[in-house]
Structure 1
Amino acid sequence: MTTVLASLTRLVTAVLAKLRIDPFIAAILATVGIASLLPATGGAATGFGIASKIAVGLLFFLYGARLSGQEALDGIRHWRLHVTVLCATFVLFPLLGLAASALSPGLLTSPLYTGVLFLCLLPSTVQSSIAFTSVAKGNVAAAICSASLSNLLGIVVTPLLVALLLSTGGPGVSGSAVLDIVLQLLVPFVAGQLARRWIGPWVQRHSAPLKLVDRGSILLVVYTAFSAGMAEGIWHTLDVGPLLVLAGVCVVLLAVVLGATGGGAKLLGFDRADRITIVFCGSKKSLASGLPMATVLFGHSEVGLIVLPLMLFHQIQLIVCAAMARRYARRAPAEEPEGLVAAG
């Protein structure tokens, strides 16, 4: 059986290579297809949600085990990079969201424009930003600090921006989100740091198999997120025309931010690894933070359409950034150290 599976794997890889399709991109698209046909609901959805949390915890435990204490401190001290990412997340994105008001009500209905602006006010993702930075061989230590800081600040900044730019009448965001971030991210990372003296060499020696943790966690996020959208029925609330317009808006929004973060980081004199971190941390928007925030900040009858742009943007950013991460990895200098990017 093992021989048959190995032969089948080689055959599929060869076919994808001949068609010039990256296997990771194919896996993401296949995951979206599976979630469309067989979405996780009820107990299965709960199970996948728990599995995603475990995967995130394991991911951060391994990052802690890979990073030396000095490298972690260097990531924390890299304030110019963190300021750049935060400006992209909480300044550039909101400005683009306000500019999109020109499309409403002509191309975007009022609820859809509200959704576009809302997604522009959200913090960056944590897990996928760091995983893609690792795959692309960027500055993982800085990515961990920057993405985590964005999420922590977003708990306060996003509701304030929503109150300033949108009329919601909703209550503030629960502080339990802070506890979730600490338990899912900080605690496993610190545990990995403490265990590094015993398992660090083993993690370095087994870098190739551990790629499955990075990429497998992304696939879990894709399946869980898309399943949630299917279960809520929000993918069926629009006709094809408005949905294509919304997809186009999301693509343009992502393209502008990717170009601005990449070009801006180069102009500011950041090196290659830092530019990768800025691009991936500065261009993402968190579905994990956005969905619970939306349920608190907006009425239940409005949430479906308001979160639709976020759901769509989330899928697009995962697919586009997965392709970019692989492209960065292929172009990485041969002499680049492997210490921080073992999962790539």
Structure 2
Amino acid sequence: MMPRRLPFVSDPMIAVLLLATTLALLLPAMGEGREIAGDVSNGGIFVLFLVNGMRIRRSEITRGIANWRFFGPLMLFVFGGMALAGLGFAAIAASVLPPLVAIGFIYLGCLPSTIQSATSYTSLAGGNVALAVVGAALINIAGVFISAPLFALLGGGEAGDIGREAIIRIGLILVLPFLIGQAVQDFVIDRVAAQRARIVWLDRAVIGLAVYVAFSGAVDQGLARLFTPADWVVLVGLVLILLALALAAAWGAGGVLGLAREDRITFLFAGSQKSVAIGAPLAAILFPPASAGFVIAPLLLYHLAQLVLAAPLATRLAQPRH
């Protein structure tokens, strides 16, 4: 019998992120070209959130709100505990890393959890998959409304103008298409469900383009000059420590809440993982290109690390207990 391959080995999202950052380093979009790429990215983000509104069933949202004993603490962990952890790590990073990169830890902490990998690892670990699907949808919808104001509250204004103009952009590019998708959902949901494989690639393409535009701005601002190899070592170390603490805290919180093992596994992955699918597009809206690449650096490393480390963890959790 062939051994089961770990999800991160074949996850195309890793290749997309690496390709986008490498392309930005070698062939960054500059001047008018970056403006055009930014406009295309914003158009892609609009379409992505329109499709998300079409495919996330309203019944899932209703079930999530009804199960407040599980999702209430999960929301507090994702947007409360993780945001405060990000704030603490930003304070540590500020003494050794460029300011915009340090602020990126706050941004990371304020984001919702990822949908696809959280549910995949929950399934692999033998957790409550139905709860993971509903939870991921509910948290990501909440993130559209919560992440930006929370980031601004915790000091994100230092990285960019999180004011009226940014709120309007979020409303037009994220919230409006999602609400339109919800409104027309009954007429298109079956056709959208039939195109699931193509929609996954739409997700990846939009995220990849947003990352490319962001890192192009960072390269234009002298990423190689401002960010030394020693800085990368420090950043990777801080990201790995944050991820380890998030996993330990999420597992511990599930125990304190007295959750069944299957639900505790769901809480572990839904609570500790962070979404580049929300983070990269939102950064493209909130920050000027000169800042966005630096701000999302912790997020990209965290996302890659969670894919690599969560797979063996899920496999271990799936093993029978003695």
Question: Shared topology, TM-score over 0.5?
Answer: yes
Q: Does 1:162 align with 2:150?
A: no
Aligned to 1:312: 297
Distance 2:177 2:284 in 1: 24
Aligned to 2:29: 40
Distance 1:60 1:266 in 2: 35
Q: Which runs of 5+ in 2 are unaligned?
A: 124-128
Normalized against structure 1, the TM-score is what?
0.67
Aligned to 1:13: none
Q: Does 1:227 align with 2:225?
A: no
Q: Does 1:249 align with 2:242?
A: no
Q: CA deviation at 1:175?
A: 2.0
Aligned to 2:250: 261
Q: CA deviation at 1:132?
A: 4.7
Q: Secondary structure at the match of 2:196?
A: coil
Aligned to 2:16: 27
Where do residues 113-152 of structure 1 align in structure 2 (5 Å cutoff)? 114-115=99-100, 117-122=102-107, 124-125=110-111, 129-130=114-115, 132-133=117-118, 139-150=132-143, 152=145
Alignment-mate amino acid for residue 87 of structure 2: P
Q: Secondary structure at the match of 1:208?
A: helix
Aligned to 1:58: 47
Q: Is the 8 A contact 1:247 1:312 kept in 2?
A: no
- Cα distance change of structure 1 residues 200 and 331 upon mapping to structure 2, 3 Å threshold: farther
Q: Is the 8 A contact 1:258 1:283 kept in 2?
A: no
- Cα distance change of structure 1 residues 48 and 316 upon mapping to structure 2, 3 Å threshold: same
Distance 2:168 2:137 in 1: 17
1:181 maps to which of 158, 165, 170: 170
Q: Secondary structure at the match of 1:210?
A: helix
Which structure's CA Rg is the greater one? 1
Normalized against structure 2, the TM-score is what?
0.71
Q: CA deviation at 1:23?
A: 5.2
Distance 1:63 1:330 in 2: 30
Q: CA deviation at 1:60?
A: 2.0
Aligned to 2:80: 87
Q: CA deviation at 1:37?
A: 0.7
Distance 1:285 1:212 in 2: 15
Aligned residues: 293
Q: Does 1:197 align with 2:150?
A: no
Alignment-mate amino acid for residue 87 of structure 1: G
Alignment-mate amino acid for residue 174 of structure 2: L
- Cα distance change of structure 1 residues 42 and 267 upon mapping to structure 2, 3 Å threshold: farther
Q: CA deviation at 1:212?
A: 0.8
Give a deviation string over 1:77-116, Cα, whole Å, max 9, x none.
5433222211233323223444x27x94xxx26xx3x556
Q: Is the 8 A contact 1:131 1:215 kept in 2?
A: no
Q: Is the 8 A contact 1:124 1:147 kept in 2?
A: no
Q: CA deviation at 1:275?
A: 4.1
Distance 1:329 1:209 in 2: 27
Q: CA deviation at 1:226?
A: 1.8
Q: CA deviation at 1:200?
A: 0.8
Q: Is the 8 A contact 2:276 2:303 kept in 1?
A: no
Distance 1:329 1:56 in 2: 31
Distance 2:160 2:304 in 1: 34
Higher helix share: 2
Where do residues 66-85 of structure 1 align in structure 2 (5 Å cutoff)? 66-76=55-65, 78-85=71-78
- Cα distance change of structure 1 residues 202 and 191 upon mapping to structure 2, 3 Å threshold: same
- Cα distance change of structure 1 residues 194 and 279 upon mapping to structure 2, 3 Å threshold: same
RMSD: 4.1
Q: Is the 8 A contact 2:115 2:136 kept in 1?
A: yes
Distance 1:248 1:313 in 2: 11
Identify the range of structure 1 (63-72 vs 319-328) with the bigger mean alpha-carbon deviation.
319-328
Aligned to 1:206: 195
Alignment-mate amino acid for residue 236 of structure 1: R
- Cα distance change of structure 1 residues 250 and 329 upon mapping to structure 2, 3 Å threshold: closer
Q: Is the 8 A contact 1:61 1:189 kept in 2?
A: yes
Q: CA deviation at 1:320?
A: 2.6
